[in-house]
Amino acid sequence: MTATTRIKKNTYIDSVSLMSISTKANALDGVQQAFCAMGTPMNKEVLEGLGLVNDEIAAATPGDLMLIALTDDGVDAETTMDAIEQLLIRKPRSEDEAESTYRTIAQAAAGRKDTNLAVISVNGAFAVNQAHAALDAGLNVMMFSDNVSVDDELALKRKAHDAGLLMMGPDCGTAIINGVGLCFANNVRRGRIGIVGASGTGSQELSVRIHGFTGGVSQLIGTGGRDLSEEIGGIMMLDGIAALEADPGTDVIVVVSKPPAQSVAEKVLDALGACSKPTVACFLGASPELLDRAAAKGVQGFNRTKPAAIAAVEASGVDTSQLNLHSLNWPLIEEVRAKLTDEQRYIRGIFCGGTLCDEAMFLAMEDFGDVYSNLRAGEFHLGADDASKAHTFLDFGSDEYTNGKPHPMIDPSNRIQRFLTEVADPEVGVIVLDFELGYGANPDPVGVMLPALKEAKAKALEAGRHLEILAYVQGTELDPQGFDEQVSKLTEAGVTWASSSTNTGLLAREFVKKDNN
């Protein structure tokens, strides 16, 4: 390791820029650590404690900026330090009209009068102020940030409602507005079906299924995960339904979420029932009674995403009788059942997408009583550090797994670790994995897991048993990752892939069934 120092005499750089420089410097190739600090006596004492004081640093004065880089052996330290110095140079504002930097949302709104939506992803505590500023400036809001209080969410949604604006979020990861995908979204055909979703991957799933069944999406409005709670009362869901009812580009309205709080379910179904356009409600895990209440209001109700998508596509005028609707592959099911031993009776689902996890889990719960998950409460709840039990479905995108780390769609390391743990369990019959394509997702989600998939297959072979790995690739042929290429990688690794989220759950539960259940 080499330590290199540069002292910038009488150089004052604001703290935010200093932190940005420090962060970028630490990300340079070959840099183990980089420090930027003012040359004050106490800061030099800190560096002395780290063994980094040399004559240059000793001579620095409080108005000087100290740059220190610790680089790997073999790295040209001086060139690296040159690169760090370059970071200090302020770049002039871009001349390109499409990209401008403003200090505040109010300034941005004033400076770019043609903008009408703000996407906010800062820390939740700051996101609230920014969302208020955006709404006050007349902008619609999509808030990816979470950790926002119920009171704050309520205040924002009421303000948006009163102003006739969208307040998508907090914790909203997916939207497609006027054909533009925001945050995590798939490249789907534009069409006449509008979606309002309180579930990110649920919304994505409906959009890709609609695309797959030759339909198209007019708008996909996200509401954030808590919108249908008793406290929030479905404000954004109801406003979204109203917006799609009024939208001349939408012929069919679909909503997707987990079952709402009871009072909210009534309001949502009433709103859908009052629409002049055909409506479909997809409430994952919904009871038969809730689906009956939907039907009574003239709303097609489903608790699975695939039939909901088919219903939406049919309502938009597509003749599905000529389409491959991917019914369950029973020969495959029999084949897998024959390969599994009696001991291999459990499903282990290790998901990135919460709604995909939900759907598979709810389908398993229809047939099995011993289904555990971090998404379930009470006796069937599993914490982040708990070992799997019986049938286990884990949403690795939940807070208890992310906890300051990147989402598994971006960094799968945690998920890979858990996957390899499950592989070693002789009671596991099938491991289920999801891979999300589209904007914002990993550029090669299957590729990053491929070594682990191959390792898993090899280990199972060594142990003399078949390990069924069932994967679902959520995406379309238009997504940037290359849908066919992703699926080919799975096939080459001996992984079975399902054609939809619904089929993933159905196949998983059928694979592990024995003669006595």
Partner 1 sequence: MTTLRVLTASRDFRGWAATRADAVVHSVFDRSINLSSDGRLWTLATRDVPAAPATAVLDLDDAHSLGLVPGDGFDLARLGDVEAVWEPVRPTGPANPHTVATVSALSAHLRPTTTGFDRAAQIRIDWLTADFRRAIATHDVPAAEAAAAGLLGLGPGLTPSGDDYLAGYALASRHFGKPDAAELIGRVVAAHAAERTNEISRCMLEHAVAGIAAHPLHHLLVTLTGDDRTAAEAAARDVIVIGHHSGHDLVSGVLAALEPTEGSR
**Residue found under tokens 């300051």:** 404
Cβ–Cβ < 8 Å for 432, 478: no
Cβ–Cβ < 8 Å for 268, 260: yes
Give the integer Cα–Cα distance in Å for 226 and 144: 13
144 binds partner 1 (CB under 8 A): no
35 binds partner 1 (CB under 8 A): yes
Q: Rounded to the nearest whole angstrom, what is the least distance from the CB of residue 156 to partner 1 in the complex?
A: 13
Structure tokens at 343: 């001991």
For partner 1, which is the closer residue by CB, 9 or 389? 9
* Phi, psi angles (nearest 5°) of residue 277: -95, 155
Return the SS3 of 65: strand
For partner 1, which is the closer residue by CB, 12 or 78? 12
Q: How far is CA 517 from the centre of its chain?
A: 35
Structure tokens at 431: 């491991």
Cβ–Cβ < 8 Å for 240, 281: no
For partner 1, which is the closer residue by CB, 44 or 304? 44
When binding is defined by CB under 8 A, the residue of 2, 8, 24, 33 that contacts partner 1 is 33
In this structure, the number of other CB atoms found within 10 A of the CB of residue 394 comes to 25
115 binds partner 1 (CB under 8 A): no
Region 38-57 residues binding partner 1, contact defined as CB under 8 A? 38, 40-43, 45-47, 49-50
When binding is defined by CB under 8 A, the residue of 6, 7, 8, 13 that contacts partner 1 is 13
Region 81-100 residues binding partner 1, contact defined as CB under 8 A? 90, 93
Give the integer Cα–Cα distance in Å for 332 and 327: 12
In this structure, the number of other CB atoms found within 10 A of the CB of residue 132 comes to 16
Task: Choose the binding region for partner 1 from 5-13, 170-178, 213-221, 317-325 (rule: CB under 8 A).
Answer: 5-13
Task: Choose the binding region for partner 1 from 28-36, 300-308, 335-343, 426-434 (rule: CB under 8 A).
Answer: 28-36
Q: Rounded to the nearest whole angstrom, what is the least distance from the CB of residue 138 to partner 1 in the complex?
A: 18
23 binds partner 1 (CB under 8 A): yes
Ordered strands of the 117-120 beta sheet = 117-120, 140-143, 167-168
For partner 1, which is the closer residue by CB, 141 or 176? 141
For partner 1, which is the closer residue by CB, 66 or 453? 66
Per-residue DSSP letter, 14? -
Cβ–Cβ < 8 Å for 208, 476: yes
When binding is defined by CB under 8 A, the residue of 22, 223, 300, 305 that contacts partner 1 is 22
Task: Choose the binding region for partner 1 from 9-17, 248-256, 481-489, 496-504 (rule: CB under 8 A).
Answer: 9-17
Q: Rounded to the nearest whole angstrom, what is the least distance from the CB of residue 92 to partner 1 in the complex?
A: 8
19 binds partner 1 (CB under 8 A): yes
When binding is defined by CB under 8 A, the residue of 59, 125, 296, 458 that contacts partner 1 is 125
When binding is defined by CB under 8 A, the residue of 103, 276, 385, 403 that contacts partner 1 is 103
Per-residue DSSP letter, 373? E
When binding is defined by CB under 8 A, the residue of 59, 82, 126, 180 that contacts partner 1 is 126
Q: Give Dmax (Cα) for the chain.
A: 83
Q: Rounded to the nearest whole angstrom, what is the least distance from the CB of residue 63 to partner 1 in the complex?
A: 5
Give the integer Cα–Cα distance in Å for 184 and 207: 12
**Residue found under tokens 């390899």:** 420
Q: Rounded to the nearest whole angstrom, what is the least distance from the CB of residue 62 to partner 1 in the complex?
A: 5
Structure tokens at 434: 């999801």
For partner 1, which is the closer residue by CB, 50 or 461? 50
What DSSP string runs through 178-189?
Answer: TTEEEESB----
Give the integer Cα–Cα distance in Å for 43 and 93: 33
Residues in the chain: 517
Q: Rounded to the nearest whole angstrom, what is the least distance from the CB of residue 330 to partner 1 in the complex?
A: 52
Q: Rounded to the nearest whole angstrom, what is the least distance from the CB of residue 150 to partner 1 in the complex?
A: 13
Using CB under 8 A, count the residues that bind partner 1. 39
Burial of 115 (0-12, 13-18, 19+ CB in 10 A): middle
Cβ–Cβ < 8 Å for 489, 446: yes
16 binds partner 1 (CB under 8 A): yes
Binding residues for partner 1 (CB under 8 A): 10, 12-16, 18-19, 22-23, 26, 33-38, 40-43, 45-47, 49-50, 62-63, 90, 93, 103-104, 106-107, 123, 125-126, 129, 151
